[in-house]
Structure 1
Amino acid sequence: MPFTFLVKIGVAIALVTAFDWMFPGGPAGSVTGLFAGLWLIGLVAARTDVRRDRRAWIAMAAAMLFLLSLVDDPGALGWTLFWCALSLAALMPRTIGFDDAWHWAARLGLHAASSGVQPLADLRQSLRRTGGERRGVRATLAILALPLLGGGLFLALFAAANPVIAHALAAVHVPSPWQIVTWIAVGFGLWPSLRPHPAVLCIAGRLPDPEPVLPGTSLPSVLIALAIFNALFAVQNLIDIAVLWGGGPLPAGLTQAEYVHRGAYPLIVTALLAGVVALAMLRPGSASERHPWARRMVLLWVAQNMILVASSVWRTIDYIEASMLTGWRIAALAWMALIALGLATIGWRILKGRSATWLVNRNAAAALVVLTPCAFLDLGAVAAAWNVRHQAPADIDLCYLSQVGDGALLPLIELERRPMDPTTRDRVRHVRGRIIDDLAGRQADWTGWTPRGARRLAQARTQIGARPAGAGLLPKDSRRDCDGRIIDLSAPPRP
């Protein structure tokens, strides 16, 4: 068995052991970032080709950037971006160059899927090497059966006859089945970065360019379809302009809020689908790509789709002002901006004859520029601060602020200082007290401690003091709802 393979096995075992020690109750706290750092160090230690590849070092520098977000306050987005950067570093030495984001997205997807295949394939190969060319897994197990079963039987008999051996065995910690499953899952997730599967690069390299195709279409059908699509989109856009921007009348029974909320997300899906269809209609080498009127109508359709995205943004902002801002709505606005940029690059590609690789790479770079700050920002905290500053205390959704968690702690303290009725103040104090108690409990445990949580807790205690005013006592037979509202359990349920 090669020495490098043994080194990779040792690194994998060390990382699994570190995971078991650092996350006794599951991944949480800044130790998530520390484990990510150990994984990055393990990759460098186990892979000579990674150490010698300059492109891999660039990817590892990006991984270290996202590692900082995991140390400060771990989140799913930060971990995903870190994994992508680390996987790029693991795969870079085995590729000639960076072709385009489309093929690299395929490589990363196949690389993630290989975590369930590569460890088993390497285990089978190592067993064959250890047991000889003609021996497989069954032969190896047959060889180990007698020593393991016989040794276990004699050890059990000695434990029954010798109290010292029995006491020593009783002190041995036997891992639970769930712990063993966790070790295997973590090992399977780590192993492909140490030994990437060859098929990952082979399959991804054979994928065609990302040129969408509409089978069975001809130039007349494309021209007729574009005329119909432009007419339909013009009707939709004119109605939106009249209602949203001009304050036009609505049908009886339909409110402005219902009109705004109903179309925000379906229109975005429509614009996204239309962008793909537009690319397929003007696929390079097709008859429509060379036809001047087809190009003009596609450009007009792309422009109408950008108006559609603008309407979706307008609808979302109106709905936020009518109800509240949430982290998901901030993400939706960012997504709408990316779609608008994608439509603009589609129009530029049509005008300048750019390739599909150019289009994919530009949009992937734009997505990375948007997602990187989001990995460091707490969008829930941003939304909570906006709601507190722009809404009346009685109108704020305290249930949502409670779901945000410690990101809503400082906005709640700011809210508590504003004038409000005693009932609302009691509810705010209850939600604030529950969040600060939960944050203090997590910060007291080293596995849940984060620098961001420590900063928030210190700021909160500075602002409200060591003994802040709490919510009132609960009456008998009652409980608090998520928004601090008192619910009488003795009252009969409403029909």
Structure 2
Amino acid sequence: MTSLFRAAPSYRSRFGVAVLLVAVADFLFYGQPAGITVPLFAILIAAAMVAVHPAAFNDGKVWLKSATLLVALLPLAETVSPLSVSVALGALVAFALSLRGRPWHGMARIAGQIVLFGLAAPVRFLGDFLQWRRAARRFGGHRIRLAAIAVWVMPLTLGAVFVALFGTANPVIEYWLSLIDVFKLLDLIQLTRIAFWLFVLAGVWAFLRPRLPRFQRRIARPNHHPADAQPAADRHAVEDIVFGKAAILRALIVFNILFALQSGLDATYLWGGVALPDGLSYAAYAHRGAYLLIATALLAAGFVLAALRPGSETSADPLIRRLVYAWVAQNIMLVVSSILRLDLYVGIYALTYWRVATFVWMGLVAAGLALIIARIALGKSSEWLLSANLLTLSLTLYVCCFINFAAMIATYNVDHSLEMSGQGIPLDAWYLRSLGPDAFPALDRFFDRQRGTANAGAVAELARLRGVDEGWYRGLQENWRSWSFRDWRLLRYLDNRRPIVPSVAEPVPDR
């Protein structure tokens, strides 16, 4: 508490920086589209963090940390999306904690600190303010009192009266007062705007004074009595029988046989092309198993982690290790089979955001299973496994920030639609329109193919709406705040393409 009160000047300087950042955020974001302004504001926050931590310049790795942060902010320059914003926030939190001397090693520890920071960030400013007030009251420092505010009531009131009188008596002052639009000033005071200021203030303050919450863990030590020795011994005896080495060995044998049967059926029907039973289509076969098999693989991974704990008797048995390797390999094949199932389903029923996310999730599950094998083979700890999985997830999400999924979905659905390929299902053009401007190139190719066909009349209204959407999009891009590399590339396409307007096919005259 004493150190907090003595640090009051530092608090005031940080508060001034926070207010300045709030003013910048109001100019950049309030009532404005989000674009290049988001990475610019993130860079300003990072610069402010370094400015209020001058000791950071004594760290030889500060430039490496800054370069790493800039790399993490690159997805924001590509496009502003929930994923790119999440990556940037995580990087800013890690950068802020590193300036406070938090170590940059162990993905599991870094992830845990980021989560704790996020939990404490919304109330950090309020907590610091109340703590500073208590310290000021305790040590007799400067604090805001009701009397200090009341003494200004009379001077300001009389001052306003004098200004009004002077304005009546002096035409020049009256002219100056006429230039002040009181109602215009009142319009600036909006509840939503004040809420925006408070939200930004709470956010930037958490970065300017990065702290992790302190949890006091009181672990009560149970009293050991001789009478409890016998029940504990019996309990351990039951666990050794049910979950012991012999039980795990038998479980692995049974599991390998069951998984081999499942893999054999997939190899027969999915890869071998054998006809399915009557009444069962390939789409139904693929859809029913695509998600359940992933749940099965996750359950199997949990069993492996529980059965082969580092240093346990089972983990040292060569036969059990070989059976685990075989079983995890079968689980990886199960995930590959699930990916093939989903691919067959998408080939019939088109692509969506959720199905793309499922593909990514399946790949992460397969990578996690491979890392389990690596952990067992290399004798690593559970913390190493968690850190490796978090690193894989982080790299995957970072790469996904640069993938235009909307354009990819639109392109796939157009190329594999019934109108374009002669197979599959008709194109759901309204869903493509819901994907936003990134679907424009794919829709244009679809409209171009429909010119002069009997289906041109049906898509004419959609083509008209496509033009309306482009006009709205171009108007939005006139604001420099909404600029991004992805939008810049799309605008170049729109400026260089030729207008595509499907024409209704003329009816063939009767002969």
TM-score normalised per structure 2: 0.80
Residues 369-448 of structure 1: matches in 2 within 5 Å?
A: 369-393=395-419, 395-419=426-450, 420=453, 421-448=455-482
Work out whether residues 260 and 315 of structure 1, in 8 Å CA contact, stay in contact via their aligned partners in 2.
yes
Offset, 1:96: 5.8
Q: What runs of 5+ residues in structure 2 fail to find an aligned partner?
A: 1-6, 168-173, 220-237, 421-425, 505-511
Tell which deviates more after alignment, 419-428 or 371-380: 419-428
CA distance in 1: counterparts of 2:261 and 2:147, whole angstroms: 77
The C-alpha deviation readout for 1:233-272, integer Å capped at 9, x for no partner, is: 3333232222211233444433211121222123223222
**Contact 1:119–1:192 (CA<8 Å) still a contact in 2?**
yes
Q: 1:190 to 1:71 in 2, by over 3 A?
A: same
Contact persistence 1:59–1:88 (CA under 8 A): no
**Counterpart in 1 of 2:150?**
146
**Which range moves more in the overlay, 151-160 or 358-367?**
151-160
CA distances 1:18-66 after superposition (whole Å, capped 9, x unpaired): 1111112265222222222222222222222433334454343232123
2:190 matches 1:176: yes
Q: Distance in 2 between matches of 1:189 and 1:120?
A: 11
Q: Describe the shift of the 1:156–1:241 C-alpha distance in structure 2 as closer, same or farther (beyond 3 A).
A: farther
C-alpha distance 377-49 of structure 1, shift in aligned 2 (>3 A): farther
Moved more, 331-340 or 139-148: 139-148
Q: Distance in 2 between matches of 1:294 and 1:154?
A: 90
Higher relative contact order (CA 8 A, sep 6+): 2
User: C-alpha deviations, 1:370-425, integer Å up to 9, x for none?
Assistant: 22222122111122122223333372221221111111111222222225432344
Select 1:8's aligned residue among 14, 18, 23.
14
Deviation, structure 1 residue 154: 6.1
Pick the aligned partner of 1:361 from 369, 387, 403.
387
Shift of 1:147: 4.1
Aligned partners of 2:278 and 2:35: how far apart in 1? 53
Conserved 8 A contact 1:223-1:294 = yes
8 Å CA contact retained: 1:50, 1:57: no
1:37 alignment partner in structure 2 = 43
Q: Is the 8 A contact 1:66 1:375 kept in 2?
A: no
Distance 2:391 2:111 in 1: 13
1:97 partner SS: coil
Task: Render the CA deviation track for 1:269-303: whole Å, top value 9, x for unaligned.
Answer: 32223223311211112232223333233222211
Structure 2: distance between partners of 1:135 and 1:45: 26
Alpha-carbon deviation of 1:171?
A: 4.9
Identity %: 32
2:287 touches 2:341 (CA, 8 Å); kept in 1? yes
Greater C-alpha radius of gyration: 2
Amino acid at match of 1:437: G
Counterpart of 1:78 in 2: which secondary structure?
A: helix
One-letter code aligned to 1:458: R
Residue 482 of structure 1 aligns with which residue?
none
Evaluate the alpha carbon distance shift between residue 435 and residue 122 of structure 1 in structure 2; reply closer, same or farther with a 3 A threshold: same
AA in 1 matched with 2:492: A
The separation in 2 between residues aligned to 1:20 and 1:411, in whole angstroms, is: 37
Structure 1, unmatched stretches of 5+, are: 207-214, 473-495
Which of 222, 247, 251 is equivalent to 2:248? 222
Aligned residues, how many? Answer: 458
* Structure 2 residue identity aligned to 1:429: A
CA distance in 1, matches of 2:272, 2:358: 24
Residues in 2 aligned to 1:358 and 1:267: alpha-carbon distance in whole angstroms: 26
Q: Deviations over 1:63-102 (max 9, x none)?
A: 2123333233211111111111111111113346334111
Shift of 1:144: 4.7
Letter of the 1:181 partner, please give it: A
CA contact (8 A) 1:439 1:457 kept: no
Q: Give, in whole Å, the separation in 1 of the partners of 2:181 and 2:457.
A: 61
Structure 2 vs 1, CA of residues 76 and 237 (structure 1 numbering), >3 Å: closer, same or farther? same
The one-letter code sitting in structure 2 at the alignment partner of 1:408 is A
Question: In 2, Cα distance between the equivalents of 1:364 and 1:92?
Answer: 19
- Checking the alignment, whether the CA contact within 8 Å between 2:117 and 2:213 is kept in structure 1 is no
